[in-house]
Amino acid sequence: MQKALVTELRHEPKRAPDSEGLSRVPRIAIIGGGFAGVATAIKLLDTGTRPLRISIIEPRSEIGRGIAYSTRESAHLVNGPAKLFSLYPERPEHFAQFLARFAGEWNWRDPLSPDFVNAFAPRSVFGDYVRSELARAVARERGVGLGRGGLTLEDLTREILKALIKDWLDQNLPYMIERLVKKEIERMVNRAEKL
């Protein structure tokens, strides 16, 4: 059986409780770190008014994606426009703004909707959004991921970056190699012509 990853998040709205206080801090375990689990953690981190310790227990290597948003296939789209996929109902444009900021970097553009509000985004990009919002909510907190055996903020950021870099390399490496090989062939031909 796959080992579950336990991500520990700590929410301390005022000042860090001392060690005695820490033992009284309510502990919340979220079983399943897919979409609903991570959305819950984001809401708890953003709106909680008292210290909390949150553990997310998730067997997948990446939290925040679940089954639906783990696909890397860019043709697998979400089933509605971006304005319906914001994590914040009071800010329906939020996901569209995320797309406008980052989609270009991933070579994804919606041909029909330049402002992204009505774009049907790839499911993997929605997963990136959920994960980046968790990273944002965690970063806003000082005491992040310090639990024993849990991820640190650095680990979380590295994990997110690793996935982004892998996607970028998957898309660009063949082209880069092709360009280098072409250049090398041109160099050899030029050298041969000079002989």
Ligand X SMILES: Cc1cc2nc3c(=O)[nH]c(=O)nc-3n(C[C@H](O)[C@H](O)[C@H](O)COP(=O)(O)OP(=O)(O)OC[C@H]3O[C@@H](n4cnc5c(N)ncnc54)[C@H](O)[C@@H]3O)c2cc1C
Binding site for ligand X (CB under 6 A): 4, 31-37, 57-60, 66-68, 78-79, 123
In the complex with ligand X, the residue whose CB is nearer, 59 or 104, is 59
In the complex with ligand X, the residue whose CB is nearer, 130 or 138, is 130
Tokens 């553990």, located at residue: 55
Q: Which residues contact 173 (CB under 8 A, 6 or more apart)?
A: none
In the complex with ligand X, the residue whose CB is nearer, 4 or 100, is 4
CB of 4 to ligand X, least distance (A): 6
Sign (positive/negative) of CA torsion 105, 80, 94, 65? negative
CB of 73 to ligand X, least distance (A): 11
Structural element, H or E, at residue 6: strand 5-11
CB of 125 to ligand X, least distance (A): 12
Torsion angles phi and psi, residue 29, rounded to 5? -105, 125
